[in-house]
Amino acid sequence: MDTIASAKGGTAGVAYSGQPEDGGFVGGARGESLTDGGFAGGARGGRLENGESAKAARRERLAKYWDSLKFALYCATHPLDGFWDLTHEKRGTMAAANTILFLTLLVRVLKLRYTSFVILTVYWEGLNIFLYIASVLFPLILWVVGNWGLTTLFDGKGRLNQVYMATCYALTPYPLIQFPLMILSNGFTVEEAEFYAVLSAISLIWAGLLIVAAMGQIHEYSAGKNILFTVASLFAMLVMIFILMIFFSMISQGVGYFISLARELLFRL
């Protein structure tokens, strides 16, 4: 089963297919199992000699991808129903999830440049675009791993890739609202910047609520349990950060010890 490694594929259409050994299945042989496989952009169905059926399969996959992407809108407006169907009815695809994440990151980066300076000014000298992107990706990965790690111990039905997929789907409001807002911001004056702040906050709160709702649905949790594990997941994130920091400082200390040891040796020799 594929993991969130597929997230690293990043762009739409190149997400890694679940079972590469399974060659012939692509093209609907396994029908709905495509959902967890993800959309393979290039034709991986090499064994299909027949060009016509390969083309048909590709079209079908494209339709499935498009359909799953559109389903994100349904999820955003009908979170409970939508996120249930996302995994249980296999309406979502990994490719669509990756696309939404990519769009989120893209809009977030574009915002820096194309939002009106009245609302957002950027100190370009102090900006590292990779760190900026990581500021979304890193908490996302921590959340997915932390949430899965906890819920899997407490009856959660969602698997790691499903947690990832649902979280990405829940990000939909961000690009949906922020992109038009970014363009509109260039017509705002200082006084009208309030609208921007409100709409921007709405997009974040909406996405946040969607994440919570999504987790409840894919893990099949009751509302109370869901909120409890949302909070617990946040703590899990903190614990992971703590452990990572300890890990890195220990490593650097350890490396430093051997470096100084070697240096001392070189001096003596």
Residues in the site for another protein, rule: CB under 8 A? Answer: 117-123, 125-126, 187, 189-191, 197
Task: Report the nearest approach of another protein to the CB of residue 119 (Å).
Answer: 7
* Look-up of token digits 């969607």: 210
**How far apart are the C-alpha atoms of 269 and 266, rounded to whole Å?**
5
Task: Report the nearest approach of another protein to the CB of residue 245 (Å).
Answer: 19
**How far apart are the C-alpha atoms of 212 and 41, rounded to whole Å?**
31
Closest CB to another protein among 43 and 136? 136
* Backbone Cα Rg of the chain: 22
Residue partners of 203: CB distance under 8 A and separation at least 6 = 173, 174, 176, 177, 178, 181
Task: Report the nearest approach of another protein to the CB of residue 193 (Å).
Answer: 8
Task: Report the nearest approach of another protein to the CB of residue 195 (Å).
Answer: 13
- What angle, 0 to 180 degrees and rounded to 10, lies between the N-to-C axes of helices 51-77 and 94-114? 60
Contact 60, 93 (CB under 8 A): no
Task: Report the nearest approach of another protein to the CB of residue 204 (Å).
Answer: 11
Closest CB to another protein among 63 and 197? 197
**How far apart are the C-alpha atoms of 74 and 82, rounded to whole Å?**
6
Closest CB to another protein among 165 and 207? 207
Closest CB to another protein among 29 and 184? 184
Closest CB to another protein among 123 and 267? 123
